[in-house]
């Protein structure tokens, strides 16, 4: 099993300087590899006998063009940066992303990646991390499990530095074996409404209103930043303030979602959630900001990876399953012009007369969907 863990680092000034050199080197190699890929692609248009560009061929060409100063940098940074170009093109060819662009020093995030080449490439002893050609740096916490570290990514957010580990481990985690079901309906005003096997409902409020003061600060400092001279001292101070606010928002949101999802996998063996077309829903001008701030995709990602660790079963309801339009009591479905609109908050069934909050109704339907998926719907809720 592969486990991911992100840990804050406490580097000294010497290590910070080396980190920034690697951030720049990673961006430099990425742009160089992208330019070489484009060159090979254009050359193949003129001569079909030439081989297709792949990240391995591009990497070999880049290594042939290495300059003297590059010998001081770790080879893993070069390899992983070229690999990232290959991944970007794979996403483009599968129509899952746009054509890769050159990284801007001004706007791109600072990061570089190391992979396991041998036992000395990535070393962790207690709370210390040692990477090739980089001095040891202290971590704020220990790894959550024992295993082989396959990869580590160093990133900078605001004025803080983080190491993201991918660990291959055989350790067993807590397994939920209570055979309980739960349906989860995600929303904007209320982040999630759950309906469990006991028939009770639980609401998890959205953080959007709570975070409004922080979003207002972002507007304020963004306006100030636009008037500063790029890379001046005042520009850098304002940019750091902005980054700290962004990081604080991200930490609040992820902490909240972590608590919800951990509680769900600990108490329910079977979890049903909708397959939401978030990208299509974002086209609604009135709701796009609220939807993006709700982090529905992050909620689902956390649920899925925790379920793989704890042995839960995630059931994804079909995208066209009418969880909101379907009566949870008699099965009546609103059709076409009679469909509930966003402003209609109460579900009133014209067939059986059931009256219920639309989100509660959707949560029940999703729970029953999961029970039918396992073959237990006839046993009740």
Q: What is the mean pLDDT of residues 59-82?
A: 90
Question: For a pLDDT cut of 90, what percent of the chain falls above it?
Answer: 49
Q: Using an 8 Å Cβ cutoff, are 358 and 340 in contact? A: yes
Separation of CA 211 from chain center: 20
Contacts of 265 (CB under 8 A, 6+ apart): 176, 271, 303, 306, 307, 310, 312
pLDDT band at 377; cut points 50, 70, 90 = low
Q: What is the mean pLDDT of residues 40-46?
A: 87
User: How many helices and strands (H and E) does the chain possess?
Assistant: 9, 14
Q: What's residue 144's pLDDT?
A: 86
Question: Each residue of 49-67: pLDDT tens digit?
Answer: 888 888 889 999 999 988 8
pLDDT band at 137; cut points 50, 70, 90 = very high
Q: What's residue 354's pLDDT?
A: 86
Question: What is residue 213's three-state secondary structure?
Answer: helix
Nearest to 242 by CA among 228, 226, 225: 225
Which two three-digit tokens encode residue 88? 């970007």
Q: Using an 8 Å Cβ cutoff, are 50 and 42 in contact? A: no
Residues, the chain = 381
Q: What is the mean pLDDT of residues 339-358?
A: 86
3-state class percentages of the chain: helix first, strand second, coil last, to nearest 5? 45, 20, 35
Which two three-digit tokens encode residue 78? 């070069």
Question: Each residue of 260-310: pLDDT tens digit?
Answer: 999 999 889 999 998 887 777 777 777 788 888 888 889 999 999 888 888
Greatest mean pLDDT among 20-24, 119-123, 335-339 lies in: 20-24
Q: Using an 8 Å Cβ cutoff, are 295 and 253 in contact? A: yes
Q: Is the pLDDT of residue 236 over 70?
A: yes
Which two three-digit tokens encode residue 45? 């248009």
What is the Cα–Cα distance from 128 to 199, expressed in whole angstroms? 48
What is the Cα–Cα distance from 296 to 188, expressed in whole angstroms? 9
Q: What is the mean pLDDT of residues 142-156?
A: 92
Question: For a pLDDT cut of 70, what percent of the chain falls above it?
Answer: 98
Q: Which fold has domain 181-379?
A: Nucleotidyltransferase; domain 5 (3.30.420)
What is the Cα–Cα distance from 233 to 243, expressed in whole angstroms? 15
Q: What's residue 150's pLDDT?
A: 93
What is the Cα–Cα distance from 30 to 280, expressed in whole angstroms? 31
Higher pLDDT, 34 or 51: 34
Q: Is the pLDDT of residue 379 over 70?
A: no
Q: Is the pLDDT of residue 381 over 60?
A: no
Contacts of 289 (CB under 8 A, 6+ apart): none
Q: What's residue 380's pLDDT?
A: 39
Q: What's residue 12's pLDDT?
A: 94
Rama region for 126: left / alpha / beta (φ>0; ψ in -120 to 50; rest): left
Whole-number mean pLDDT of the chain? 88
Q: What is the DSSP letter of 174?
A: -
Separation of CA 134 from chain center: 28
Q: What is the mean pLDDT of residues 177-193?
A: 87
Higher pLDDT, 111 or 289: 111
| Least confident window among 55-69, 164-178, 207-221, 290-304 | 164-178
pTM metric for this prediction: 0.80
What would the DSSP string read from start to end of 242-256?
Answer: HHHHHHHHHHHHHHH
Domain boundaries, the chain: 2-168, 181-379
């Amino acid at each position: 099993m592969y486990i991911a863990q992100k840990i804050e680092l406490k580097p000294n000034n010497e290590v910070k300087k080396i980190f920034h050199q690697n951030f720049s080197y990673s961006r430099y190699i990425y742009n160089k590899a992208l330019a070489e890929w484009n060159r090979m692609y254009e050359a193949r248009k003129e001569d079909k006998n030439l081989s297709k560009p792949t990240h391995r061929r591009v990497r070999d060409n880049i290594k042939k063009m290495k300059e003297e100063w590059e010998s001081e940098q770790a080879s893993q940074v070069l390899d992983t940066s070229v690999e990232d170009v290959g991944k970007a093109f794979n996403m483009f060819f599968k129509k899952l992303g746009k054509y890769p662009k050159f990284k801007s020093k001004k706007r791109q995030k600072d990061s570089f990646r190391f992979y396991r080449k041998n036992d000395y490439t990535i070393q962790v002893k207690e709370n210390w991390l040692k990477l090739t050609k980089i001095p040891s740096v202290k971590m704020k916490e220990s790894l959550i499990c024992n295993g082989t570290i396959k990869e580590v990514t160093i990133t900078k957010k605001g004025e803080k530095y983080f190491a993201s580990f991918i660990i291959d481990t055989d350790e067993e985690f807590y397994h939920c074996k209570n055979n309980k079901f739960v349906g989860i309906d995600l929303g904007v005003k209320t982040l999630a409404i759950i309906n469990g096997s006991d028939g009770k409902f639980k609401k998890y409020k959205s953080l959007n209103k709570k975070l409004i003061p922080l979003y207002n600060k972002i507007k304020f400092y963004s306006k100030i930043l636009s008037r500063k001279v790029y890379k001046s001292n005042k520009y850098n101070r304002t940019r750091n303030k902005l980054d700290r606010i962004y990081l604080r928002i991200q930490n609040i949101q992820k902490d909240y979602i972590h608590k919800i999802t951990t509680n769900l996998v600990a108490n329910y063996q079977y979890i049903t959630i909708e397959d939401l077309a978030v990208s299509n829903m974002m086209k609604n001008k009135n709701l796009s900001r609220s939807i993006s701030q709700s982090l529905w995709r992050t909620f689902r990602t956390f649920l899925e990876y925790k379920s793989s660790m704890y042995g839960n079963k995630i059931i994804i309801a079909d995208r066209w399953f009418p969880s909101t339009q379907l009566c949870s009591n008699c099965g009546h479905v609103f059709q076409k012009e009679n469909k509930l609109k966003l402003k209609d908050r109460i579900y009133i069934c014209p067939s059986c007369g059931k009256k219920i909050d639309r989100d509660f109704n959707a949560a029940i339907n999703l729970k029953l969907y999961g029970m039918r998926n396992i073959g237990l719907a006839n046993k009740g809720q």
